[in-house]
Structure 1
């Protein structure tokens, strides 16, 4: 790993090798590759068993983090006595760090004494609550070492773990816990403006806030950090995508995947948890490409997921299906996005429906949409029945895609599929009602990037409203969608059609925006949803 000059953290050791391994561990910690960081800290211990901070690092990396906390089931997995992550390893290493810190630098002793408060072994029902005690103590330590950027980073993440992905109110104003996080981040960035761990956390902090408060300094510092850590390369796209920079979102995620695959070739055994980060980057690239109308890139990214997440990998660890199998639906969503109905109907079901629960469920959904779009409504209804039966049997949490649950996704899909079929049956008002319900469910999904449902339901609603001649209502829908997904080619196309139909004076401005957006698209786009690309003039059809 190429080291960022600003991230070297001198610790008490007589071994240059231990210091080097410790620094490497810090880089991977900053990039959320905690398994690789844990390995580095273990190597530092082997180089100098008396290095307090090497044991501290090992303990820290075996604990929860912003993306893998109690909410995602961390404590159940980490209750194992060894392996990764292990709270037994964490507790032992933290205790060892406290012993070794005695008589050493005050900073190291303070960090060690704070971290030991986080763990107990064996794990009990009360173990997750220790995180609050640890975060409170880290806040105290951070104030004692207010100009130490590394201490502020550790403090900020300790606080973030108290409310992962819930630092803001629904109106994008920070909660009290968010303000505590911000205080630590701001102290640290004032001391070291390009500190990669702090910049990473600051992007995570600001991404859920108002767009005009996005921390572009932090995002741009990561762009130029020169560290081959895939997640750090990827992180600026959490802001880029929210301002409609789909080109950057595709390019940086492709670069992130390349860096991750390079490391995976060297240390595949240390990718149990981080595996999800790699396919997250692949999915993010596909999502950006879908918003940009770039079919080739979207399908290539989806194919990368399928190539990387093999059947063998999916069976390699009990957590793999729970946390990763949902990503195998990315290709299905891309096929729906671009109206590739024949490809959907040619996609086979997986032989092991239990292992591929999400793929099976959402293939029924995709087939239902495809049959509806190709005027075979009876077959579409059969797929809908199969989809709903499976959804009813699916337990919440059986499959997760980061913050979003398979059942939550299924509830969005159920509304969209019902609407597509109702529309083809001529029950347009009912169809629009189901799509409005789908929009509500889409909006209610937990915050996540990529969004928990990869195709904006407003784009489907707008397309069918437009096809039915309800241009005023569609204009409102498209305007709302563009506020969420700026400059997306789909809603700009729909808005252009509506403005043309109504001789709206805003047409020229929309045409200029659309011309820019179309530069990334590699397919002609005639409507905001492929399901509306044909004029349905059959009996019972509701298109004009």
Structure 2
């Protein structure tokens, strides 16, 4: 990597310090003032660049190199501890916590040469302190408070502002504030830094995360379109824009984003001489398969599944791997309404080995959900009851520690959807509607985890499907339209809305939804029934 170091006689605080700025054509441009030796600075700055793109393994390696080059560089140990936090992912594992506490101890034992560097170390120490007895959320709030104080103490330090903004967004994901006050506060800070540092990778990245909600996503489009170009070396940077593209139904942009992410992830694995897949590659594949399915490009979606089924190993078997390995096959059969295939869904043995599903039961629930729904829609009530019981068991056993994502509720939504279709198969229509209304209400109240492009099937869209099945198209149309506001331009959402409008006698709306569906699937496979129906209807419906 080409890194140029510019040293100025000026400093933001003490005269003994230097302002070091790293320009990279691969990770963006970052500046972080330190007292470390010239030998340590390039590695340290590269670590900051990787850290801002959540490439934690590479960041930790670079910070460790900086510490080796300059044993008196306390802030390098801070960097190692920061690389093990993962504020918007799953909480650190016990092994990561132990490793981070050791890094913090080394940082505290190494006398910081400036008060500012000591304050950075103290801030991350607040997160790891008493991690054996304090929960993740409590410690995340402690770190957030420490970063707020640091930001206020050094208002000219833009890195302090950026890291404080990230901590605001991270804590915001642990709240249930419908106004997104913390995320909006983070965005205000980040936009101020953006004006001074337009090539800062963390600013663009964290703006995307701050606005990764249906009501805010449109605000992040400029950052989404810019971030990937700032840090082309990072697979995560190539992928992150697709979070916003997915929220807004910008499927072609999402596809392009995740193809680049796949390529960057594979390039990294080649540099490491690792022959298997990577967690970033699988994460991109899940989003890629989802986007292909929404545009009716089923052949390409099946190729993503074939690639997954051919994988035998992965660099890091973490939660994102477990999610993708189970979500991709479930999506393929459910989105395409292949009920019998869904009822008999099995993961290949090698895929089962990519991530320990016994540790990620919420991911294993995807397979049981597909089987339960497929069996219920196929009127195989006996099989549906077996799979529903497995979903119920997973839901009851799941624990949600403070600060962790509520997978238990998500499994509960899936369980209620499956139970509703089972009730419908048994002719218990009132119960089916009650269960599906409950699932939709619950689904609306819970934000998706950043690991997923969306629910395996949106509950409110399923409510529309159920109402159509019950011969109530006018009510179904309302539910499909409500679902499309939250998950715009979903193929099955548009198809359902078009069918409901047509059956309800609302031909103008039917014409509009069919036209949108034809445009959406212009590159789609003509053998998919929803696409054939849309194209035929668009030709048959009278012009306005």
TM-score (norm 1): 0.79
Give the SS at the match of 2:211. helix
**Number of residues of Structure 1 aligned to a counterpart in Structure 2:** 498
Aligned partner of 1:12 in structure 2 is: 35
Q: C-alpha displacement at 1:451, in angstroms?
A: 5.3
The range that moved more, 501-510 or 358-367, is: 358-367
Q: C-alpha displacement at 1:136, in angstroms?
A: 2.9
* Cα deviation digits, residues 319-339 of structure 1 (max 9, x gap): x47664343322023212112
Aligned partner of 1:35 in structure 2 is: 57
Q: Are the counterparts in 1 of residues 172 and 180 from structure 2 also a CA contact under 8 Å?
A: no
Q: Are the counterparts in 2 of residues 65 and 161 from structure 1 also a CA contact under 8 Å?
A: no
Any stretches of 5+ residues in structure 1 without a counterpart?
81-85, 531-544
Aligned partner of 2:374 in structure 1 is: 370
Alignment pair present for 1:149 and 2:158: yes
Aligned partner of 2:180 in structure 1 is: 174
Q: Are the counterparts in 1 of residues 293 and 335 from structure 2 also a CA contact under 8 Å?
A: yes
How far apart, in 1, do the equivalents of 2:94 and 2:34 lie?
33
* Cα deviation digits, residues 47-75 of structure 1 (max 9, x gap): 2223343233223223x23224xxx4426
1:523-534 equivalences under 5 Å are: 523-526=526-529
Aligned partner of 1:436 in structure 2 is: 437
Give the SS at the match of 1:101. coil
Distance 1:122-1:373 versus aligned 2 partners, 3 A rule: closer
Query: Among residues 288, 291, 306, which one is paired with 2:291 in the alignment?
Result: 288
How far apart, in 2, do the equivalents of 1:197 and 1:355 lie?
31
Give the SS at the match of 1:6. strand
Give the SS at the match of 1:482. helix
How far apart, in 2, do the equivalents of 1:42 and 1:281 lie?
28
Distance 1:386-1:480 versus aligned 2 partners, 3 A rule: closer
Distance 1:304-1:23 versus aligned 2 partners, 3 A rule: farther
How far apart, in 1, do the equivalents of 2:165 and 2:288 lie?
28
How far apart, in 2, do the equivalents of 1:438 and 1:221 lie?
37
Aligned partner of 1:255 in structure 2 is: 260
Give the SS at the match of 1:204. helix
Q: Are the counterparts in 2 of residues 465 and 473 from structure 1 also a CA contact under 8 Å?
A: yes
The range that moved more, 421-430 or 493-502, is: 421-430
Aligned partner of 2:338 in structure 1 is: 340
Alignment pair present for 1:101 and 2:110: no
How far apart, in 2, do the equivalents of 1:220 and 1:510 lie?
28
Query: Among residues 488, 491, 497, which one is paired with 1:489 in the alignment?
Result: 491
Q: C-alpha displacement at 1:40, in angstroms?
A: 0.8
Aligned partner of 1:65 in structure 2 is: 86
* Cα deviation digits, residues 187-215 of structure 1 (max 9, x gap): 32232133111211111112237337613
Q: Are the counterparts in 2 of residues 88 and 121 from structure 1 also a CA contact under 8 Å?
A: no
Distance 1:118-1:417 versus aligned 2 partners, 3 A rule: closer
1:414-493 equivalences under 5 Å are: 414-449=415-450, 450=452, 453-493=455-495
Q: Are the counterparts in 1 of residues 81 and 103 from structure 2 also a CA contact under 8 Å?
A: yes
Aligned partner of 1:3 in structure 2 is: 26
Aligned partner of 2:220 in structure 1 is: 215
Distance 1:290-1:41 versus aligned 2 partners, 3 A rule: same
Distance 1:196-1:356 versus aligned 2 partners, 3 A rule: closer
Aligned partner of 2:301 in structure 1 is: 298
Distance 1:36-1:396 versus aligned 2 partners, 3 A rule: farther
Aligned partner of 1:325 in structure 2 is: 322
How far apart, in 2, do the equivalents of 1:129 and 1:365 lie?
33
Distance 1:222-1:46 versus aligned 2 partners, 3 A rule: same
Q: C-alpha displacement at 1:252, in angstroms?
A: 0.7
Q: C-alpha displacement at 1:367, in angstroms?
A: 3.1
Q: Are the counterparts in 1 of residues 35 and 73 from structure 2 also a CA contact under 8 Å?
A: yes
Give the SS at the match of 2:488. coil
Aligned partner of 1:49 in structure 2 is: 71
Moved over 6 A (4+): 349-353
Alignment pair present for 1:139 and 2:148: yes
Alignment pair present for 1:78 and 2:99: no
How far apart, in 1, do the equivalents of 2:192 and 2:447 lie?
29
Distance 1:305-1:409 versus aligned 2 partners, 3 A rule: farther
Distance 1:394-1:133 versus aligned 2 partners, 3 A rule: closer
* Cα deviation digits, residues 26-60 of structure 1 (max 9, x gap): 12101112222011111122222233432332232
